[in-house]
């Protein structure tokens, strides 16, 4: 028997009926080129075979979660960035339960069954890896996956329908690539502006290239009902650049800067529990921007009938996050790829947890690495980007808008994650995409300021940090504590005692505001699984050295 439990959602509710249509779907999506926000395509009703499901699911693009219950099988899928997670697990009665809520499915699976490896990954990277959650009884679909459940045998199979693979089918012609990029952007923003229907855009504008690109496209397409919102300290370079960009484009601009003490008050016990429960969903760390916006909506400074838009995750698809460890013509082993992933993604809670031996097995399993072969430059970059796509972008970064929908009942758009734009970059040759070579050539023509530009001062400081890193690392705990005491960040939403506890196991290495939120999620929600998180972390550091 299969049991399907879904929550009610105010902005993009579930459409259809399992009883009448055999199908429910939520989100804003396209089926065979036609846009849907309400209702479901006739072709998605009453699907019975996997072949039929595959054929019809291929025609789906956009942001969605889909569940189809047939006579003998149930099929369910998430989109290419898993914006709306789906979970599955066996109930106490040994029935398969499918849900869009970790909390709902946890009630059905019965007694607490903590996943120690999942918690270790969570503290190290800000999410669990693969299909894991923090409960051994519950799993989640990853981006680009669908699952098939056999009702009779209760056998469940999870399959990839998308792996974010680069085909490089476009020519090595910068003029052609630039023109094609403009055509794709025009298509993406023309469709988005039509969907906005004149509503107020609340654009998260940083000092970087990507949110600036969104602002430029809105201006180019004549959309003026925009307010730019920038998060951070007034003294920061990003903050001042964002303000200048908004002024040059003629958009309204405002700053969001919260005192840490006010943030702690804002996160009262009831709202904190709701925020942490809803937004972590048992497998990822909440983003912080949505909770910062709450008083601005409550006081009417920002309109709740507006649409949240940001520039996530343009830098990723454009090639900014290439790994410098791999160079063209090189040949590498599985352990080289593992080392690169560890150095990039497992540093959140210090070197002690980063070097845990279990992480190496996790990465090799996730990427299907073979110790008995070598990998080319292209293969290494492909695998490095694939794990970033599924484990960081689709589990953490997308939370920036998903939380606004969940907490504030806000509509949202992620134009730089539009399927058409993602597909464009998947076809760009690797030498044009590497380190955003092509993208930088295109955006530098815009003549607007950017905090991404490396000044001589920043280049000098980066060089000093590189050569003096061993000494700097020794001073990390002191540096991080001083930063906390000076209120260097809006986002340190814990007291001094809690921050000291975090430093005691991270040793200050890569400790930041996300580390703090990871700790809070783990301590407030999952203490029933693991007890004291600091004790758990220190025990795992000892285990990892054996």
pLDDT tens digits, 452-494: 555 555 556 556 556 665 666 667 788 888 888 877 665 567 7
| Three-state secondary structure string covering 60-72 | EEEEEEEEEECCC
Give the span between the Cα atoms of 193 and 221, in whole angstroms: 8
Specify whether 213 is located in the same domain as 153: no
Specify whether 152 is located in the same domain as 236: no
Host H or E run for residue 314 = helix 314-318
Specify whether 541 is located in the same domain as 466: yes
CB-facing half-sphere around the CA of 491: CA atoms within 13 A = 18
Please report the pLDDT score of residue 366 as a whole number. Answer: 95
Specify whether 444 is located in the same domain as 481: no
Condensed to tens digits (0 to 9), the pLDDT of residues 330-380 reads 999 999 999 999 999 998 888 889 989 899 999 999 999 999 999 999 999
Q: According to the per-residue pLDDT averaged within each range, which of 186-190, 302-306, 402-406 is highest?
A: 186-190
What would the two tokens of residue 202 be? 């609340």
Specify whether 132 is located in the same domain as 179: no
Residue 276 has pLDDT above 80, yes or no: no
Please report the pLDDT score of residue 298 as a whole number. Answer: 85
Check if the beta carbon of residue 156 is closer than 8 Å to that of residue 148.
yes
**Least confident stretch, 254-263, 418-427, 510-519:** 254-263
Specify whether 267 is located in the same domain as 407: yes
Count of H-run helices and E-run strands, the chain: 25, 18
Residue 521 has pLDDT above 60, yes or no: yes
Q: Give domain status of residue 334, yes or no.
A: no
Average pLDDT, the chain: 88
Residue 208 has pLDDT above 90, yes or no: no
Give the span between the Cα atoms of 500 and 327, in whole angstroms: 40
Percent of the chain at pLDDT above 70? 90
Rounded to the nearest 10 degrees, the angle between the axes of helix 209-220 and helix 237-249 is 10
Please report the pLDDT score of residue 110 as a whole number. Answer: 81
Q: Give domain status of residue 324, yes or no.
A: no
Specify whether 183 is located in the same domain as 240: yes
Give the span between the Cα atoms of 285 and 269, in whole angstroms: 18
Strand-by-strand arrangement of the 138-140 sheet: 2-5, 96-99, 87-90, 138-140
Q: Domain of 243: which CATH number?
A: 3.40.50.620
What would the two tokens of residue 83 be? 């914006």
Condensed to tens digits (0 to 9), the pLDDT of residues 81-110 reads 999 999 999 988 888 999 999 999 998 888
Check if the beta carbon of residue 249 is closer than 8 Å to that of residue 274.
no
Check if the beta carbon of residue 148 is closer than 8 Å to that of residue 400.
no
Average pLDDT over residues 270-294: 80
Label the pairing between strands 411-413 and 307-309.
Answer: parallel
pLDDT band, residue 286 (cuts 50/70/90): confident
Q: Give domain status of residue 425, yes or no.
A: yes
Give the span between the Cα atoms of 347 and 484, in whole angstroms: 19
Give the span between the Cα atoms of 444 and 459, in whole angstroms: 19
Q: Give domain status of residue 322, yes or no.
A: no
Structural domains in the chain (count): 3
Q: Give domain status of residue 518, yes or no.
A: yes
Q: Give domain status of residue 294, yes or no.
A: yes
Specify whether 251 is located in the same domain as 283: yes
Please report the pLDDT score of residue 165 as a whole number. Answer: 95
Check if the beta carbon of residue 521 is closer than 8 Å to that of residue 280.
yes
Among 130, 160, 190, the domain-final residue is 160
Among 160, 193, 214, the domain-final residue is 160
Specify whether 464 is located in the same domain as 448: no
Of residues 500 and 275, more confidently modeled: 500
Q: Give domain status of residue 190, yes or no.
A: yes
Residue 505 has pLDDT above 80, yes or no: yes
Host H or E run for residue 226 = strand 226-231
Average pLDDT over residues 527-532: 84
Q: Prior bond to 521 cis, omega within 30?
A: no
What would the two tokens of residue 63 be? 């942001």
Among 160, 187, 214, the domain-final residue is 160
Specify whether 470 is located in the same domain as 485: yes
Give the span between the Cα atoms of 372 and 31, in whole angstroms: 43
pLDDT band, residue 237 (cuts 50/70/90): confident
pLDDT band, residue 446 (cuts 50/70/90): low
Condensed to tens digits (0 to 9), the pLDDT of residues 425-443 reads 999 999 999 999 999 888 8
Backbone angles phi, psi at 144, to 5 degrees: 75, 25
Please report the pLDDT score of residue 259 as a whole number. Answer: 58
Specify whether 248 is located in the same domain as 131: no
Count of CB atoms situated within 10 Å of the CB of 157: 10
Average pLDDT over residues 291-310: 89
Average pLDDT over residues 268-290: 78
Distances from the Cα of 103 to the Cα of 7, 109, 146, 526, angstroms: 10, 10, 21, 12
pLDDT band, residue 133 (cuts 50/70/90): very high
Specify whether 94 is located in the same domain as 216: no
Q: Give domain status of residue 427, yes or no.
A: yes
Domain assignment of residue 261, given as a range: 174-312+398-453
Please name the residue that has the structure tokens 């003998």: 72
Average pLDDT over residues 266-291: 77
């Amino acid at each position: 028997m299969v049991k399907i439990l879904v929550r009610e959602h105010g902005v993009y509710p579930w459409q259809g009926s399992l009883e009448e249509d055999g199908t429910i779907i939520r989100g804003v999506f396209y089926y065979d080129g036609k846009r849907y926000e309400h209702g479901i395509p006739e072709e998605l009703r009453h699907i019975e075979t996997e072949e039929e499901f595959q054929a019809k699911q291929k025609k789906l693009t956009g942001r969605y979660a889909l569940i189809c219950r047939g006579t003998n099988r149930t099929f369910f899928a998430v989109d290419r960035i898993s914006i709306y997670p789906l979970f599955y697990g066996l109930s106490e009665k040994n029935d398969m339960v499918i849900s869009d809520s970790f909390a709902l499915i946890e009630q059905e699976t019965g007694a607490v069954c903590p996943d120690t490896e999942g918690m270790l990954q969570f503290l190290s990277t800000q999410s669990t890896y693969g299909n894991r959650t923090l409960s051994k009884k519950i799993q989640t679909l990853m981006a680009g996956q669908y699952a098939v459940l056999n009702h009779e045998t209760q056998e469940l199979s999870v399959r990839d329908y998308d792996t974010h693979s680069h085909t490089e089918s476009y020519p090595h012609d910068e003029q052609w690539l630039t023109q094609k990029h403009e055509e794709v952007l025009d298509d993406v923003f023309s469709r988005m502006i039509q969907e906005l229907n004149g509503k107020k855009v609340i654009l998260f504008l940083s000092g970087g290239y990507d949110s600036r690109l969104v602002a430029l496209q809105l201006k180019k397409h004549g959309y003026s009902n925009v307010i730019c919102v920038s998060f951070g300290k007034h003294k920061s370079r990003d903050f001042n650049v964002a303000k200048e960009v908004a002024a040059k484009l003629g958009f309204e601009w405002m700053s969001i800067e919260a005192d840490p003490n006010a943030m702690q008050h804002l996160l009262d016990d009831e709202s904190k529990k709701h925020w942490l429960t809803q937004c972590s969903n048992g497998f990822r760390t909440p983003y912080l921007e949505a909770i910062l916006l709450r008083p601005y909506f409550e006081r009417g400074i920002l309109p709740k009938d507006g649409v949240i838009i940001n520039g996530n995750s343009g830098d990723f698809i454009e090639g900014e996050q290439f790994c410098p460890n791999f160079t063209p013509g090189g040949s590498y082993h599985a352990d080289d790829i593992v080392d690169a992933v560890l150095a990039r993604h497992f540093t959140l809670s210090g070197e002690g947890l980063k070097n845990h031996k279990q992480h190496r097995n996790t990465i090799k399993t996730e990427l299907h690495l073979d110790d008995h072969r070598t990998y080319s430059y292209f293969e290494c970059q492909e695998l490095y980007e694939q794990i970033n796509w599924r484990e960081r972008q689709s589990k953490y970064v997308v939370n920036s808008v998903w939380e606004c929908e969940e907490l504030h009942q806000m509509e949202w758009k992620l134009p730089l994650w539009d399927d058409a734009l993602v597909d464009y970059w998947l076809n760009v040759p690797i030498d044009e995409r590497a380190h955003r070579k092509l993208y930088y050539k295109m955006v530098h023509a815009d003549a607007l300021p950017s905090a991404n530009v490396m000044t001589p001062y920043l280049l000098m400081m980066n060089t000093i940090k590189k050569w003096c890193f061993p000494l700097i690392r020794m001073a990390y705990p002191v540096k991080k504590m001083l930063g906390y005491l000076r209120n260097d960040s809006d986002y340190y939403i814990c007291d001094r005692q809690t921050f000291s506890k975090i430093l005691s196991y991270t040793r200050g290495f890569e400790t930041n505001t996300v580390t703090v939120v990871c700790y809070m999620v783990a301590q407030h929600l999952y203490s029933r699984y693991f007890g004291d998180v600091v004790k758990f972390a220190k025990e795992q550091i000892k285990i990892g050295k054996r």
